[in-house]
Structure 1
C-alpha cells in the first residue's frame, strides 16, 4: 500500500483541498472529559491532585512538588555535553530576539513602548514513552532570556522516580520547582494554583489531547496564557528534481514516528521524484521496522505526495497548509523561500532536516500546528514579553489638540467626562 500520489491541478483544488481539513485537530471530545477534572482541581486543590494522580498514574504521592536542587542525578557525560551544546545554541539564537524599549515624538508628545516580562511560567514535560527533554530547553530558555522570574516544570510522576535528565535540566536551568502532576490536572494546578502549587500566568510545552484541551479551555476563559493551540506534528516539504528521494523519505518518516496522527506532505514539480520517494518509504518500512504500525498509519492515512505543474503552485498550497515544519529542498531554496509567508519554522537546503531544529541548531521547536502559523509564530522571547505603551503629553500639545478631542468625544456621547478631563486642562491657559 504505497503512499498516495496525486496530480495536483490548481484549476481543480477540490481534488486535494481535503488535506487542509485533515490538519485540523478536534479537541471537543477531550474538552468534555477534562472540564470536570479542571473544576475539581479548582474547588479541591491538592486533594484533587492527589486523587487524580492515584487514579490516572496509579501512584500515591506524599508531596506534589520537588526542589530540583535537593535531588542527586546521574546523567552520562556525553548526554550532558549534547544538551549543553543545544542549550548554548538555543541561548545564542534567542538572545538575538531581545527587544529594546523605545520612544518617538508624535505631534509634540513623547510616546513609547516599554517591554516587560510575564511574571511566571509553567513548562509541561510529558512522561513515559513521550519523554521530550529537549522541549524543556525550548520552553525555559527564551523565558529566562525575557526575564521571567518564576518558572516551574510540570511533569507526570514516574513509579521509578523522575527521569534523571529532567531533574538535571531543571538544575542547570535553575527553575524554582518541579510539579509532579501530569495530564489535565497538572495544567489545572498551575492555572488555578493550589495549596502546594503556585499559580502560573503562562504555560507552554507538548502534551496529549487532554493536555492540549486543558490548555485551550483555560486560556479561553482567561485563566492562563498559552503559546498556541497544539495539534499533531506535521511537515511540509517543497522539492524539485534535484532533491534526494531517500533523504526526503527519511524526513517524512521522522514526523511519522511522532504518532499515527502525524502528517507529512511532499509538494513537488517532479513526478520521478514523487515515485522515487514512494519507493524509498517502502524500503524504509522494511529496513527500520521500529514503531512500524504507527509510521505506516501516519504515512498511508494522513500523508500525501502532490505533484504540481509549477513550483509557484507548490508555494501557494504550502502557504494555505501553513505547516508546522517546512523543508525546502530545491536547486535555489532561498528563491523559493521568498514566496513563503506562513510556516512555523523553515529548513533550507538538503542538509537542514527538521531534526536539527528539534534538537541542536538553536531555533525553537515549539511551533504552531494545524495551519496555526497563519496567525501564530514559533515560541520565542517575544512570547514572554508584554508591550507597555506610555505617553507624556505636553501642555502645548493638549491645548492644540483639545478642539479635536472635544468633537470626537461629543460624537461618541462621552463629552461629559472624557471631554471634560481634557477641557479642564485646556482652560488652565486662560487663568
Structure 2
C-alpha cells in the first residue's frame, strides 16, 4: 500500500457504544494507522506513573512497614509479614477441587513440553586453528514472579510464570500475589495450590506495584529472626494492571523484565467468511477481564461488523460479568476498524501490535504468516485466545499496549543470559595481532594494541 499524507479518519457512532473507526479509502502511514486504531486514553499512564513512583519510594525506604500500610489501604488486610506459611500452601492443594487440579496438571504438562523445547543450544565456533568463540546460555540466579488478583483469580498465571523459569534452570523462585480479605489476608487458595503443585514454597501476599518494588530492591530482614527479609531478584515477570506494568517499566535496568504486560487486549482480523457469533464470543472473553480491557475487530466486511455488533449486544447481556464487559466494549480502547481490504487489515494489525491477535479469514494460516507484530497469533476458528489462556501449551504472559512491536511474550529465554566465551591460543592471537593493532590505532586507543603486542615481546 503506497503512503500519502494522513487523512482524517471517520468515526461512526455505534450501538452498545462499540464504536466504528472507518479507515477505508485512506492511505494511512504506519503512524496514521497507530493513531487510528482504538487505544486507551493516554492520560492513564502518566497518572499511574506518579502513584507508582510514590509506592516504589515507600517500599525502598520503609520496607515491611510500607507493605503493611499498602496492604491495609489497597486490600483491606492487616499483615504482620507477607510470607505465606508452608502449611497454607499444602492445605490449599489438599483442598483443591479435583477437576481444577486435573486441569492445572494438564496445563502444566503442555506448558512444560513447549518450554523444554524452547531452550537454545550452546554453540562453539572455531574461527581458526586454536581460535574458539562460544555462546553459553546460563539461567539467572533468582526471579520474582507476579500473579495478579483483583477482579479474577489467575492460577493459570502461576503456571505461565513458573514453568519457563523451571525449564530455564532457575534455582531461586519467589512468587507474589495480592492478599485477599476473604481468605485471611492470603492470596486466593487456588493460586496457592498451583504454586504448591509446582513446588514453589516462597510465596508472598503482596499485590500491585509494591510487589514489583519488593522484588526489584529487596527488603531487609526485620529485627525478629521469625520475620525474614526478601532477597532482591534478577528478573521480574508476570501480567498485571496499569500499575504493575508501570512499575515494571520503572524498575527495568535494576532488574530484567519480561514485557510490560498490562491490561489485556484482543484484536481479531476477520473477513466475510468469519462467524459473527464466534468473533463476538472471543471479544467478550477478553472484555470480561477488566473494564479497561481492549477488544478490537479489524474487518473489510460491513455485513460481518453488523453481525458482530448484534451478537455483542446479545451475548454481553447474557454473560455473568455483563456490566464489566459492556464497560470494556464501550471504552475508547475498543471498537471496529473498517478497512478497505485484507492488505489494509494486515497493515492495521501490524500497526496495532496486539497482545492477542486472532485470524478469522480465508487462508487464516497464510494470513497469520504475514503478521509481524503481535504477542501471540491464534489461527482459525478452533484456536481462540481462551485456549492460549489455559491449555494450548503457549504462554499467556504477553506484551500489551503496542509493545509487541519490539518485545516478546514470556518464554524460557526470559530467564537465561547468553554469555560469550573467548578462548584463543598464542598462535591464534598472533595471527590477528596486526589487525588488532591497526584497528586500535584507527580508534586512537594504542594501549589496546600494546596489550596484544606485549604478549609477544622478546619472542
Fold match, TM over 0.5? yes
* SS of residue paired to 2:151: helix
Residue 297 of structure 1, CA deviation: 2.7
Q: Kindly indicate whether residue 76 of structure 2 is the aligned counterpart of residue 58 of structure 1.
A: yes
Of residues 35, 38, 58 in structure 2, which corresponds to 1:40? 58
Return 235-244 or 352-361, whichever deviates more: 235-244
> What does residue 205 of structure 2 align with?
180
Return the TM-score normalized by structure 1.
Answer: 0.93
User: Deviating runs (4+, > 6 A) in structure 1?
Assistant: none
CA contact (8 A) 1:65 1:197 kept: no
Q: What stretches of structure 1 of length at least 5 have no aligned partner?
A: none
Return the TM-score normalized by structure 2.
Answer: 0.87
Deviations 1:386-409 (A, max 9, x none): 000111123223222111111211
Relative to 1, partners in 2 of residues 1:405 and 1:352: Cα closer, same or farther, differing over 3 Å? same
> What does residue 293 of structure 1 align with?
323
Deviations 1:353-408 (A, max 9, x none): 10000011110000011111111111100111100011112322322211111121
Residue 208 of structure 1, CA deviation: 2.5
CA contact (8 A) 1:117 1:146 kept: yes
Q: Kindly indicate whether residue 191 of structure 2 is the aligned counterpart of residue 166 of structure 1.
A: yes
**CA distance in 2: counterparts of 1:232 and 1:127, whole angstroms:** 12
**CA distance in 2: counterparts of 1:181 and 1:286, whole angstroms:** 35
> What does residue 157 of structure 2 align with?
135
How is 1:8-407 mapped onto 2 (pairs within 5 angstroms)? 8-9=23-24, 11-13=26-28, 17-20=34-37, 22=39, 26-68=44-86, 71=89, 72-73=91-92, 74-108=95-129, 109-159=131-181, 160-161=183-184, 162=186, 163-194=188-219, 195=221, 196-219=229-252, 222-288=253-319, 290-301=320-331, 302-407=333-438
Relative to 1, partners in 2 of residues 1:91 and 1:372: Cα closer, same or farther, differing over 3 Å? same
CA contact (8 A) 1:179 1:197 kept: no
Residue 269 of structure 1, CA deviation: 2.6
Relative to 1, partners in 2 of residues 1:49 and 1:6: Cα closer, same or farther, differing over 3 Å? closer
Relative to 1, partners in 2 of residues 1:405 and 1:266: Cα closer, same or farther, differing over 3 Å? same
CA contact (8 A) 1:93 1:363 kept: yes
Residue 229 of structure 1, CA deviation: 1.6
**CA distance in 2: counterparts of 1:106 and 1:29, whole angstroms:** 53
Residue 423 of structure 1, CA deviation: 0.8
How many residues get paired?
A: 425
**CA distance in 2: counterparts of 1:50 and 1:134, whole angstroms:** 27
* SS of residue paired to 1:379: coil
CA contact (8 A) 2:39 2:334 kept: no
**CA distance in 2: counterparts of 1:164 and 1:263, whole angstroms:** 29
Relative to 1, partners in 2 of residues 1:265 and 1:64: Cα closer, same or farther, differing over 3 Å? closer
Q: What stretches of structure 2 of length at least 5 have no aligned partner?
A: 1-14, 222-228
